[in-house]
Amino acid sequence: MPLASRARGSCASPAALFDAGFQLTFLALLAITGICLPILERSSTPYRSALHHLDSTGYDLALEPKIAQFRLDLRLIAGRLAQFIGARAARIIVTGAAAVALGFFELLLVSAITQAVLVLPMRAYFHRAAILGMPANVLVLPLAGLMLNAGVAAIALSYVSMPFARLAATVAAASLHWTLACLHSLSRFHLAQWRVPDPTPLLALLAVAAIVLAFFAVAKTARDSVCRSDRVVSFRRNRRCLSRGTLRSSAANWKLQPSTWVREISLLVVSPEGRTMLIDGGGSTSQVPSEFDFGEDVVAPYLWSRGLESLDVIVLTHAHEDHLGGLPASSEDFHPSELWVALIR
Amino acid at 147: M
pLDDT at 288: 61
Tens digit of each residue's pLDDT (9 = 90 or more) over 37-76: 888 888 899 999 888 888 887 777 778 888 888 888 898 8
Shortest CA distance to 32 belongs to which of 108, 106, 104, 114?
114
pLDDT at 93: 92
- C-alpha angle with apex 104: 62 to 118, nearest 5 degrees? 110
- C-alpha angle with apex 327: 326 to 332, nearest 5 degrees? 110
Asked if 272 and 298 touch (Cβ cutoff 8 Å), the reply is: no
Shortest CA distance to 20 belongs to which of 259, 197, 240, 249?
249
Give the whole-angstrom CA distance, residue 114 versus residue 30.
9
How are strands ordered across the β-sheet holding 276-279?
2-7, 260-270, 276-279, 313-316, 338-341
- β-bridge mates for residue 265, sequence order: 4
HSE at residue 169, side-chain half, CA atoms within 13 A, is 11
pLDDT at 265: 66
Alpha-carbon separation of residue 46 from 40, 98, 181, 227, 301 (angstroms) = 9, 12, 36, 12, 47
Question: What DSSP string describes 110-129?
Answer: HHHHHHHHHHHHHHHHH-B-
Q: What stretches in the chain show pLDDT beneath 50?
A: 1-10, 226-237, 239-240, 242-263
Give the whole-angstrom CA distance, residue 180 versus residue 187.
10
pLDDT at 127: 78
Give the whole-angstrom CA distance, residue 107 versus residue 37.
12
pLDDT at 8: 44
